[in-house]
Amino acid sequence: MSDLPSSQTDVLVVGAGPTGLTVANILGMHGVRTVLAERNPSTVGEPRAVSIDDESLRTMQYMGLYETLRPRLLVGYGSHYFSAAGSCFARVLPEVADYGFPRRSAFRQPVLEAHLREGLQRFPSVTARFSTTVESVRQDDSGAHAVIVAEGGRREELACRYVVACDGARSPIRESLGIVMSGSTYSQRWLIVDLLGSTDRFRHTRVYCDPSRPALALPGPEGTRRYEFMMMPGEQADTLLEEASVRALLARHSSEDARLEITRKVIYQFHARIAERWRDGRIFLAGDAAHLTPALRRPGHEQRCPRRPQSRLEAGRGGARRTRPGPARLLRERATPSRLVADPDGGDHGTGHDAQVGAERLPRAEHPAAALALPAGTGLRHADEVQAPAAIPDRLRIRFRRTGAPRRHAAAAPARAA
């Protein structure tokens, strides 16, 4: 028995990045008592993720935040591919909208997180605690127990029924559970440069297929632009990050961009990794804590191909959206972890390939760990079969084939005159 001051809640969400904020908003929509703990004093202020896919925008719409976010997006952009000589030899354009939104749009992560944080104010059941560190988490038959340290060093114990760890790629909670991440790390490193004040209105990514220095230039809303340059063998990160070196690289593609304000420059090495399991009893992993996808696997590069998770951010928020209405139902029914049974049929990560919208089965989940991160019926079920709610607007009643393409019903041809 701990001597620390104690309090109780239903769900503790650790980490107030896009995934954690989304989880907290959706739990708030269902009236679930939730504490969101974030070690930093606020949401991010610097550029990070810049691309958001259609399923994530649909998540924003579901939470009632899309209309306020929409003016600050660059909706629907593709890619133009350029040879070393500067000629455009291929174009991939956003010509489909399977889920009602373009496959790829540009956004600013600080703006998105600010909107998600503001959205929490709608829900009296959600408490956001910034400058708060989760020191440890343990669990027993009665629930989970976290020791949290507030600003100023005050320690307390928070008792909860479930914990959702959205605490990043180096998740302390995942590591404390001994859950291993398997996968690969790419040998190439990339210089990422974010700019502010661009007047270039070209709305697509420029992909520079130059063997001497592969690079990309990505459009952004509100005068932002991002460049990504591959580091070449023998180059040193410190030298490449010098402002003179960065501006010289920018000048190879745009004299204007070479003069813009640089808001961020950093070297990235990309990973493709997945946690061996996404659940340990009452503790669930979400976002980067559960899976890492290389940032260059952006939606839009394969816009005519079958769907699959495209980036860490999109996959994380997609999983967060699929919390609905699972946690609320589990908590209302006072379900225990033993009631969550992995569906033996398996399937994909709920990308929509199997979806039949209406009073029918929803997509299945591959990981039993997604019990809290997927709605009842999506690969995790109770003793009885759970069905999707029938009250879905007609405009969302879309039936999907295995390929993910909508099954379109051709209109009847007009009778031909005799």
Query: Residue 21 and residue 36: Cα distance in Å, rounded?
Result: 8
Q: What parts of the chain have a pLDDT lower than 50?
A: 298-315, 318, 322-325, 341-418
CB count in 10 Å sphere of residue 3? 6
Query: Residue 71 and residue 50: Cα distance in Å, rounded?
Result: 15
Domain 6-72+107-182+272-315 and domain 183-271 have a common topology:
no
Q: What one-letter code names the amino acid at 299?
A: P
Q: Give yes or no for a cis peptide into 221 (omega within 30° of 0).
A: no
Contact by Cβ (8 Å): 293, 169? no
Q: What is the pLDDT of residue 155?
A: 95
Q: What is the pLDDT of residue 328?
A: 60
Q: What is the pLDDT of residue 3?
A: 74
Which residue, 407, 352, 404, is CA-closest to 378? Answer: 352
Distances (CA, A) of 21 to 7, 33, 132, 160, 382: 21, 14, 15, 18, 27
Rounding to the nearest 10 degrees, give the CA dihedral for residues 141, 33, 170, 181. 50
Query: Residue 227 and residue 260: Cα distance in Å, rounded?
Result: 12
Pairing of strands 74-75, 104-106: antiparallel
Distances (CA, A) of 346 to 97, 202, 322, 341: 27, 43, 16, 12
Q: What is the pTM of this model?
A: 0.74
pLDDT digits (tens, 9 = 90+) for 205-244: 999 999 999 999 999 999 999 999 999 999 999 999 999 9
Superfamily holding 6-72+107-182+272-315 = FAD/NAD(P)-binding domain (3.50.50.60)
Q: What is the pLDDT of residue 275?
A: 95
Q: What one-letter code names the amino acid at 40?
A: N
Mark residue 279 as left, alpha or beta (left: phi above 0; alpha: psi -120 to 50; beta: remaining): beta
Structural domain boundaries of the chain? 6-72+107-182+272-315, 183-271
Superfamily holding 183-271 = D-Amino Acid Oxidase, subunit A, domain 2 (3.30.9.10)
